[in-house]
C-alpha cells in the first residue's frame, strides 16, 4: 500500500466519522458507514504498523561501488 493510500484512507475515515456523528443519518446508512469506517481504520492502522523498529548503519562504501549492505547500529544504552 502506498503512502498516498494512507493519506487518502485517513481523509476518507475522518469523513466517515463526521457523517456517522450526524444524528440524522438513518440506521442502515450508519451501519454502512460503520463498516466502511472500520475497514478504513484498519487500513490506516496496518500502514502505520507496517514498520518494525530498526536502527541500521550502512557499511562503508567499497571503492568499486555504492553502499547498500547494512548492519544493526549499536545504540548506546543510557
Partner 1 sequence: MSARIWSVAELIGEVNAALAGGFGEVWVRGELSGVKVAASGHRYFQVKDAQANLSCAMWARSADRLRFKLTDGLAVLLRGRLEVYPQRGALQLIVEEAVPEGVGELQLAFEQLKAKLASDGLFAPERKRPLPALPQRLGLVTSSSGAAVRDVLKVLSRFQRLQVLLYPVRVQGRGAEGEIARAVRWFGASRRVDIVLVVRGGGSLEDLWAFNEEMVARAIAACPVPVISGVGHETDTTIADFVADLRAATPTQAAEIVVAQLEEQDRRVSEAQESIAAAIERRLERSRLRLAGLEGARGLARLPLRLRELDERLRRLAALPPLLRAVVVARHRRLDGAAARLFHWPVRFGAPRRRELVTARIAIAGERLRALLRRRSVQLTGLDRALGALSPVAVLERGYSITTREGTDAALRDAASVAAGERLLTRLARGTVRSLVVGREPAGQGTLFDEGGPGTGNREPGKNPTGSRGARRRHE
Residue 54 makes contact with partner 1 by CB under 8 A: yes
- Which one, 3 or 64, has the nearer CB to partner 1? 3
Binding-site size, partner 1 (CB under 8 A): 49
DSSP run (H or E) holding 71: strand 70-72
Contact 59, 69 (CB under 8 A): yes
Query: Counting contacts by CB under 8 A, is residue 69 touching partner 1?
Result: no
Q: How far is the CB of 59 from partner 1 (least distance, A)?
A: 9
Distance of CA 4 to the CA centre of its chain: 10
Cell digits for 3?
A: 503512502
* Stretch 3-42: interaction string toward partner 1, x if CB under 8 A: xx-xx--x--xx-xx--xx-x-xxxx-xx--xx-xx-xxx
Beta carbons within 8 Å of 66's beta carbon, 6+ residues apart: none
Amino acid at each position: 500500500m502506498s503512502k498516498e493510500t494512507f493519506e487518502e484512507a485517513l481523509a476518507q475515515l475522518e469523513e466517515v466519522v463526521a457523517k456517522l456523528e450526524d444524528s440524522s443519518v438513518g440506521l442502515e446508512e450508519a451501519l454502512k458507514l460503520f463498516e466502511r469506517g472500520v475497514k478504513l481504520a484498519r487500513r490506516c492502522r496496518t500502514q502505520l504498523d507496517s514498520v518494525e523498529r530498526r536502527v541500521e548503519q550502512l557499511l562503508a562504501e567499497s571503492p568499486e561501488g555504492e553502499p547498500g549492505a547494512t548492519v544493526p547500529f549499536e545504540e548506546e544504552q543510557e
